Structure 1
């Protein structure tokens, strides 16, 4: 096994950063990407996940994947955010390629890797194959290793708490991102492992951010943080204040829940508006950088009809929910 200091990433709020492209060429728009990284850091994120699902990792070459990681690390450092950590998504469809991506991530300056379960041959991926894959790659990884569970992008493969728990004792496996949004799973894993020293369980959806914290989880790695990092940071700070003295600071928890309600509504709305393309469109419209360009087979998302929708339609309600959290973001 590669010798590494295998500790979980610090608890808090993380963002699977979207990557911006020029509209005609689909080349990476480095200027917009830098603006986005700086805004996220200024918004109080604990760390940035580069090449998560929202970063369109599977649409990039190996060279592009390594370059985006290095660029993010360099942008954070040059802006004075050395404390903001970088996690690299390094999932691929073979163990061999995944191992190489883990090595590339270390050379590019990442601190941890996050790995999806291969899904091209989903019917053949029984529990024994899943355990063998993650243990094999984790043993070869030069960086501490996190398991990424996202059934939507892995042909329905959904790792239950027994499978994740069986992997957690591996000396180089230090955490998981659960984009399944299963609070019971989060609670079971959080009860079994200390998120600071053993194994960190992160929600992969913002709509269960506060619920995860109250369940003993480490925090969130959520797409909506791309849009409203300050709102998420406010929820986290309120939770920490409540945690210090639950009796005296009960009002802090109520305030956090009020914000969480708005986050949950917006998280659902963004998923319905259009996922990755929707996030890019919203950021470009509201924060004046980037555009809605995605690489195929994803589709760009136009917000014009949504913005003009009657507030009583479902589309109008979605946009109203997004507007509400952005108003809060801009007030913080």
Structure 2
């Protein structure tokens, strides 16, 4: 195993995966989405994060989508865009195999959730053992995915994540908990060249940068990748008022995505405003529509989309 490095600092998208109405993978819409994200100047694409419905895919489908993403990027001159694959499973054994599959399919890093089926048994020692065993066996560096909403409430604290970060093949975390105190402690506890703590929510993007976070892996970037890049550029150019104004739009947009159905609503919004894909999700999730938007929320999203189109 070569020396493990974190994903580069920047903006990552936990990409949605488009399905046809019969729930088959829509490859053409997915390729169009990957290309639009890359053209929006994102640093990397997370395939099969929570927004990519990883738990709804077979192992063969997982490999197929990783290959499709990497091939689409390479074919259009975006070889520099990083591909991270979500590989978490409920057993150590399966997670190890998914990491092997991810590398073979073209991913450079693996993002791994804490197993949560047996929540009552998941002590700190068992969680540490799981991630370390997986990291020992993984052919690619791993990023610890902390998202209590999808792990039955299991929420890793900064001390646990920092302990994992001393492993040579554990190179970062995605904090979808959005906890800025936790992010700050990790930024100031581990060297940035070996461990990258990414914020996992657009509503915390600017505050994360303000405490020297390396960037974010954020669902709203499916809709507005250029807006996220504009905030990044404004912050690093010290145009603080511009950065704050963009953060205002992202914070409201992030809340609206969650309010109206998350994954399916994100797809519906992309389909409406960018002309590809559809809102279909695999069951048991429910397909939603942009038609349910209140006039106030519609106005907020219209402002964000207009800003995105202006960039």
1:214 alignment partner, one of 210, 220, 235: 210
Between 186-195 and 288-297, the greater mean CA deviation after superposition: 186-195
How far apart are residue 5 of structure 1 and its match? 2.4
Paired position in structure 2 for 1:292: 279
How far apart are residue 146 of structure 1 and its match? 0.4
Determine if the alignment matches structure 1 residue 182 to structure 2 residue 179: yes
* 1:91-130 to 2 correspondences below 5 Å: 91-130=88-127
2:3 alignment partner, one of 2, 5, 9: 5
Partners of 1:158 and 1:264 in 2: how far apart? Answer: 22
Partners of 1:82 and 1:21 in 2: how far apart? Answer: 25
Paired position in structure 1 for 2:241: 254
2:298 alignment partner, one of 297, 302, 319: 319
How far apart are residue 4 of structure 1 and its match? 2.9
Partners of 2:221 and 2:38 in 1: how far apart? Answer: 11
Partners of 2:230 and 2:76 in 1: how far apart? Answer: 22
Aligned alpha-carbon RMSD (Å)? 0.8
1:143 alignment partner, one of 135, 140, 144: 140
Partners of 1:318 and 1:40 in 2: how far apart? Answer: 24
Determine if the alignment matches structure 1 residue 201 to structure 2 residue 215: no
Partners of 1:226 and 1:176 in 2: how far apart? Answer: 20
How far apart are residue 305 of structure 1 and its match? 3.1
Unaligned runs of 5+ residues in structure 1 are 243-251, 307-314
Asked whether the 8 Å contact 1:273–1:318 carries over to 2, the reply is: no
How far apart are residue 320 of structure 1 and its match? 2.1
How far apart are residue 318 of structure 1 and its match? 2.3
Paired position in structure 1 for 2:150: 153
Determine if the alignment matches structure 1 residue 76 to structure 2 residue 73: yes
Match of 1:14, SS state, is strand
Paired position in structure 2 for 1:20: 18
Partners of 2:218 and 2:298 in 1: how far apart? Answer: 19
How far apart are residue 253 of structure 1 and its match? 1.3
Give deviations 1:53-82, integer Å, cap 9, x for gaps.
Answer: 000000000000011001100000001101
Paired position in structure 2 for 1:311: none
Paired position in structure 1 for 2:188: 191
Give deviations 1:20-69, integer Å, cap 9, x for gaps.
Answer: 0001x211000000000000000010000000000000000000001100
Match of 1:192, SS state, is coil
Paired position in structure 1 for 2:250: 263
How far apart are residue 288 of structure 1 and its match? 0.5
Give deviations 1:285-323, integer Å, cap 9, x for gaps.
Answer: 0000000000011111111232xxxxxxxx332222222
Partners of 2:15 and 2:116 in 1: how far apart? Answer: 23
2:27 alignment partner, one of 22, 27, 30: 30
Partners of 1:269 and 1:153 in 2: how far apart? Answer: 19
Between 320-329 and 169-178, the greater mean CA deviation after superposition: 320-329
Asked whether the 8 Å contact 1:4–1:172 carries over to 2, the reply is: no
Match of 1:188, SS state, is helix
